[in-house]
Amino acid sequence: MARGSDVIETARYPLTGKFMAGRSRDRMDEADLLALEAMVDRQRTLEGGEVFVSSDIPSREGAILIDGFLFRTIRDGARRHIVGLHVPGDIVNFNAFTMERSDHDLVSAGRARIGIIPQRGFDATVAERHGLARALWFAVLVDAAVQRKWTQVLGHLDAPRKIAHVYCEIQRRLAFTGEACRRAVRTPFTQFDLGDMCGVSTVHANRAISKLRESKIAEIRRGTLYTHDWDALERYARFEPGYLYGGNRGKEDRCMHEGVRSQ
């Protein structure tokens, strides 16, 4: 089962062990995995709301997200738009390695821990290691697929479904690295954040959450979503996990934390 190997991975590769777990990770041999781990120069902890990358300031550093969440945001005058979300295991700011500037910002949502990957090490390692290069290429393409899904969801679902969809996606993405809990998805998101993610006002995000609660589909309190029926929630949100490219395991991908038993 996937969970067992995940434990080994994070023990042996404490910084990068979550990278594309259950996905393109198996394209890499041990030398690749060691090279990946070695790309991390140092760790850094971000407090909630701290800006790691700003589109205003050129950056020559990417990172791997070790713990916590990062928002991808685009500012537009006074407004902030959350156009994407990073979970542990994601390599973030690929832009730094190839472009002068970034089109968006990276801001921590709650406390987060990252491992800094300098451009120099990245370029050299990728040029040498084919398996790693392919796995990174895969990661970027999955990232793009997720972005397309966000585009679709934003355009075509109503507010309660948008919010439900965000949580369904997070649940699955966390499950890849064995971080998902059985009955809950814990996030530090405020309703303000959820509104900015789903393109609705804070007030309406609140009403959407109320509707989810009233229709007994899910309960969201202080950023944490609780549900007893993931299938129902996913159906409601029209969530189809294919775009996350998680192997062919289907529902097995929704593997749960062992520590948390039913009731």
Partner DNA sequence: CGTTCCCTTGAGTAGTTTCAATACTTGTGG
Partner DNA sequence: CCACAAGTATTGAAACTACTCAAGGGAACG
* Residues near DNA, by CB under 7 A: 158-160, 190-192, 199-204, 206-210, 221-223
Judged by beta carbon, residue 202 or residue 215, the one nearer DNA is 202
Is the CB of 22 or the CB of 84 nearer to a copy of itself? Answer: 84
131 binds a copy of itself (CB under 8 A): no
Residue pair 6/21 in contact (Cβ under 8 Å)? The answer is yes
208 binds, options a copy of itself, DNA, none, Cβ within 5 to 8 A by partner type: DNA
Nearest approach, Cβ of residue 186 and DNA (Å): 13
Whole-number minimum distance, CB 195 to DNA, in Å? 7
Question: Any contact of residue 173 with a copy of itself (CB under 8 A)?
Answer: no
SS (H, E, C) 45-75: EECCCCEEECCCCCCCEEEEEEEEEEEEEEE
Q: Which is nearer to a copy of itself, 30 or 76 (CB)?
A: 76
Distance of alpha carbon 162 from alpha carbon 143, whole angstroms: 19
Residues 228-257 vs a copy of itself: string with x where CB under 8 A? ----------x---xx-x------------
Long-range contacts at 204-211 (CB < 8 A, ≥ 24 apart):
204/159, 205/159, 205/163, 207/159, 208/158, 208/159, 208/160, 208/162, 208/163, 209/160, 209/163, 211/160
Restricted to residues 31-90, the positions that interact with a copy of itself (CB under 8 A) are 55, 72, 74, 76, 79, 81, 83-84
Residue window 79-118: x/- pattern of binding to a copy of itself, with contact defined by CB under 8 A: x-x-xx---------xx--xx-x-xx--------------
Instruction: End-to-end CA distance of the chain: give it in Å, rounded.
Output: 23
Q: Is 243:146 a contact under the CB 8 Å cutoff?
A: yes
Q: Over the range 179-202, which residues count as b (16 or more CB within 10 Å of their CB) and which as e?
A: bbbbbbbbbbbebebbbbbbbbee
Q: Enter the tokens of residue 133.
A: 């290069």
Under the rule (CB under 8 A), what is the footprint of a copy of itself? 55, 72, 74, 76, 79, 81, 83-84, 94-95, 98-99, 101, 103-104, 127, 130, 134, 137-138, 140-141, 143-145, 147-152, 154-156, 198-199, 238, 242-243, 245
